[in-house]
Structure 1
Amino acid sequence: MERLEYRAELEWDGNVGSTAEVREFTFRIDTNTDGHNAGPNPTEYLLAAIGGCLTVNWGRLIKKMRLDVKGFEVEVRGWRGLDEPQLKEITYKITILTNEPEKKIMRVKELAEKYGTVFNTVGAEKIRGEVEVVRDT
């Protein structure tokens, strides 16, 4: 079986954070509660990873389908209760600037969700998304 393999290495900072290395990139993971606020916390990175997954797939599909898109933004939100360490809801909103038919844009949404590695690892049933099409006048 062919496969894609991913790797991250983390070094603890002595408190609650770490420095992560992924390929040639280095970034901090920390908290703003009992850490030094030196970087986003793991949950924020998870939300960013979901948004990044969607952005990569939307970008690929826009190019493949040769759609005329001036730009788009992704906002991902999640919430949890204080008593249970699990996100209860994850939502995203894509705001896209285009004059393409809405049917084509919704097809991009469908395919981006279907083929998103992070999106499907977290679980498509846990994530709700919406798209706002802004017409370029």
Structure 2
Amino acid sequence: MKIQLKRLNEDYHFELRNERGHVTYIDNKTETGGHDLAPSPMEYVLMGVAGCSAIDVISILKKQRQDITSYSAEVEGAREKIGGASPFKEITVTVFLEGDIDPEKAKRAAQLSFDKYCSVSKTLEPTAKIIYKTVLNKKEV
């Protein structure tokens, strides 16, 4: 896996391209010298958690022939100052599912994602506590 980064302005706006040609952008917030033209690197970390777990949960439920009519998630990261850095100390993920889905299967799919399969969460796990909950048809399971 390889990413190429190219600076786009005199400050912190960058273009990133993966080996398959997909392009995305990163910038810094205005209060820290950027122009807020794109998400920050730490926001992309949270997006990675959201996307990785979504792929896992949907894949698991599809294999179990569950009818998913809607999937969304919210990811919130709490950071702590350590020296000059501010890494995540805790990340909370809420998975929202709708459809004809067995509640135990929904709960188990999220558990498997965060405890076993999600490479992004597993990468962050040594330094950040990952908390997750599953909401199925507007009710926490």
Superposition TM-score tier, normalisation by shorter sequence: 0.7 to 0.9
- Counterpart secondary structure, 1:15: coil
- Structure 1 partner of 2:95: 94
CA root-mean-square deviation: 1.9
* 1:41-56 correspondence runs (5 A): 41-56=40-55
- Cα distance in 2 for partners of 1:62, 1:99 equals 11
How big is each residue's C-alpha offset from its partner over 1:20-58, in whole Å with a ceiling of 9 and x where there is no partner? 001211111002221121110001000000000011111
How big is each residue's C-alpha offset from its partner over 1:50-99, in whole Å with a ceiling of 9 and x where there is no partner? 00001111121121111112111111111224675111221010111123
- Cα distance in 2 for partners of 1:20, 1:48 equals 15
- Cα distance in 2 for partners of 1:80, 1:111 equals 25
1:123 aligns with 2:125: yes
The structure-2 alpha-carbon separation of the partners of 1:20 and 1:120, relative to structure 1 and needing over 3 Å to count, comes to same
- Counterpart secondary structure, 2:97: strand
- Counterpart secondary structure, 1:88: strand
- Counterpart secondary structure, 2:88: coil
User: Aligned residue pairs: how many?
Assistant: 130
1:12 aligns with 2:12: no
How big is each residue's C-alpha offset from its partner over 1:92-126, in whole Å with a ceiling of 9 and x where there is no partner? 10111123221111111122221111111111762
- Structure 2 partner of 1:133: 136
- Cα distance in 2 for partners of 1:46, 1:80 equals 12
Contact residue 61 and residue 105 of structure 2 kept, 8 A:
no
- Counterpart secondary structure, 2:52: helix
- Cα distance in 1 for partners of 2:60, 2:102 equals 15
Relative to the length of structure 1, the TM-score reads: 0.85
Name the stretch that deviates more: 117-126 or 15-24.
Answer: 117-126
Structure 1 residue ranges without an equivalent (≥5): 1-5
